[in-house]
Amino acid sequence: MQCYLDNAATTRPFAEVRDIMMKTLDFDFGNPSSKHAMGMEAEEYVEAAREKIAKTLKVNAGNIVFTSGGTESNNQALIGSALAQSRKGKHLITTCFEHASVYNPMEFLRSRGYEITYLPVDSLGHVDPQVLKDSIRKDTILVSCMIVNNEIGSILDVAELSKAAKEVNPDIIFHVDAIQGYGKVPIYPKKMGIDMLSVSGHKIHGPKGSGFLYIGDGVRNLPIIYGGEQQKNRRSGTENVPAIAGLGAAVDIYFKNHADHIEKMYANKERFIRELDEKIEGATVNAIDRSIPLSEAVRKTAPHIVSVSFEGIKAEVLLHALEDEEIYVSSGSACSSNHPGISGALKAIGVKKELLDSTIRFSFGLFTEGEEIDKAIEALGKLLPIYRKYTRK
């Protein structure tokens, strides 16, 4: 049995996603900007997906801009807003454990004369709102943070952080990277003080190459892609109708019986951690509050991510040993695998030095079943003693 526990990297698309994408490729393949019937049919797919997404966030459909995925959404949010607000100031704030698609645009802006402040996090991956408040200056124009950390699964209280920032300066733009959070935790931009929100479709059983950026009313954001002025000149380029239609289908399915879907992932996560605690020696689950009952602690984190540090073995060795058993996991963010190194997230939460390169990320999706949890635990119990013995030699 193949055991796929790398759903934070990407998810298997729903069958309905594949079907609607094939339909738009084979039959409804018109350009949504064309004024004839086939073009209007293609546009209907785009607008239907926009409406479905907006409904999940309780926002207006006109606030949704389709992109090629989370990376583009983050780049558009950060660079577009920084350029639009540059006369007001050039100071930006983010956290010390953001995804590369936030960190690298921030560093690009630094090279163009902007100043960046990186906020610390505690051992559970949380940001102190007072620290954010104290970091805001007269020239601060934007704050950006993730709602769910992609490596350790901590949930940041973005509503409280936005409130803190806007108490100091109501004009600050508050951006949230929700690539790991959309569909996993409640997100309502208007209620939570979120001005911009980035999402990627392939994290919720939609297609790769799909995503969107929510831009709130009145938020100034200059385009970073220029061309035919599609999507009200916020993102030029012919819309990727198959990907957008697939994303709309994924949203439709994912948010149907949503509470049941979330509870299934939480149940798998709790089961996995309990099995680790009981059966696997030298395993430490990161960013879980052990001062409260496990069931409660698990539900204070995202439902799909478990970060585990294993004593006496390198993450890369264990990853490939598990792969030989047809168990697929990650040693961190999949997007960082092209630039391997010690995880900034693990350093940020204070993981022991000797465990920094001994940490594996297990992540669950809607297709994850209990049998996969059992197989992973059984394999860890078999492999770890062997490889630890080999490592000691």
Question: Are 305 and 363 in contact, with CB atoms under 8 Å apart?
Answer: yes
C-alpha–C-alpha distance, residues 116 and 103, integer Å: 10
Q: Which of 3, 96, 145, 335 is catalytic?
A: 335
DSSP-assigned beta bridge partners for residue 48: none
User: Would you say how long the chain is, in residues?
Assistant: 393
C-alpha–C-alpha distance, residues 121 and 144, integer Å: 14
Question: Residue 61 burial (CB < 10 Å; 0-12/13-18/19+)?
Answer: middle
C-alpha–C-alpha distance, residues 182 and 186, integer Å: 8
C-alpha–C-alpha distance, residues 250 and 143, integer Å: 30
Question: Residue 313 burial (CB < 10 Å; 0-12/13-18/19+)?
Answer: buried
- State in Å, rounded, how far the first CA of the chain is from the last one: 32
Sheet holding 196-200, edge to edge: 64-67, 211-215, 196-200, 173-177, 140-146, 91-95, 115-119
Nearest residue to 120 via CA among 141, 134, 105, 102: 134
Residue 123's alpha-carbon distances to 149, 150, 152, in angstroms, are 13, 15, 11
C-alpha–C-alpha distance, residues 316 and 256, integer Å: 37
Residue 233's alpha-carbon distances to 88, 220, 237, in angstroms, are 23, 13, 9
C-alpha–C-alpha distance, residues 102 and 150, integer Å: 12
Ordered DSSP codes for 346-361: HHHTT--GGGTTSEEE
Q: Is 96 a catalytic residue?
A: no
C-alpha–C-alpha distance, residues 25 and 2, integer Å: 30
Active site residues: 335
